[in-house]
Amino acid sequence: MNLDITIGQYCEGNSVLHRMDPRAKIVAAILYIVVIFLAKNLFGFVLLCASAALLIAVSGIPARIILKSMKPLMFIILFTAVINIFWMQGETLLVHFWIINIYAEGIFNALMIALRIILLLIGTSIFMTYTTTTIALTDGLEQLLAPFAKLKLPVHEFSMMMTIALRFIPTLVEETQKIMNAQKARGADFSTGSLMQRAKALVPILVPLFISAFRRADELATAMECRCYTGGEGRTRMNVLHARVSDFIVCLLVIALGAAVVLLNQLGGFSLSW
């Protein structure tokens, strides 16, 4: 596994999270996302950071691998944080220049939003992609959405598309790096020049990347047809999913974490505004 490209990749292991039922992991990931959005002050985020550290320790996945997966998204995280610095107003004015006002509350708000995005990436990655295989994730998502199949919704096809998309994220990122290295060897420059020049320099990357993506999609479709894939109707599974007591315990712990975050919100301090 390429340690620099980890988003969407499965890391083999035998931890408690690896052994969990994929349905329970999907539910726990959704609950964890809700808990992250419940946090409103510094105390809640300290508890969330502690829970994220505990998740990393329990999963057995090195923290450096998880942190490296944040590198491709750092620009989005920083851009979102900077926008919120200038967006939010408060009572403590730090900088006033022309029409620009920067408040202490705005800086705190930006830091907490950036931290919230990082916690979202860590929590969802550990619960789902890092500790769950593509097949298990497909089966778990399909069974959770099974009631919607009675409404004639394409549940199996939706689950398959979601898991294939997650599976091919690292493949496409790796393909992008290969194309960039090939273009750099031919004299391409992606780090200097004006914004318009850098945008034009991306054209030699995007065109072969789209061609490669469509080629991979066509090869995958051909491979599925050769194996007589016809969808979820009448399909059997080699491994039947069984929920364990530990699965329910993990979900209850996430709910307890949410309750603790709500209680900590009552302590006041800097609060996160939207």
Instruction: Give residue-wise pLDDT tens across range 203-212.
Output: 888 888 888 8
What integer best gives the mean pLDDT of the chain? 81
pLDDT for the residue 261:
92
pLDDT for the residue 8:
59
From CA 55, how far away is CA 137, in angstroms rounded?
Answer: 19
Q: What's the chain's Rg over C-alpha atoms?
A: 22
Tokens 């998204």 sit on residue: 73
Residue pair 63/56 in contact (Cβ under 8 Å)? The answer is yes
Residue 175 pLDDT level (bands cut at 50, 70, 90): confident
pLDDT one-digit tens code per residue, 57-77: 998 888 888 877 777 778 888
pLDDT one-digit tens code per residue, 131-174: 888 778 878 888 888 888 788 788 878 877 877 877 787 788 88
pLDDT at 101 over 50: yes
pLDDT for the residue 63:
84
Q: What is the mean pLDDT of residues 170-188?
A: 83
pLDDT for the residue 228:
80
Residue pair 106/89 in contact (Cβ under 8 Å)? The answer is yes
From CA 82, how far away is CA 66, in angstroms rounded?
Answer: 24
pLDDT for the residue 54:
93
Q: What is the mean pLDDT of residues 33-48?
A: 90
Instruction: Find the length of the chain.
Output: 274
From CA 122, how far away is CA 67, in angstroms rounded?
Answer: 9
From CA 162, how far away is CA 156, in angstroms rounded?
Answer: 10
Q: What is the mean pLDDT of residues 169-195?
A: 80
Q: Which residue has the higher pLDDT, 132 or 272?
A: 132
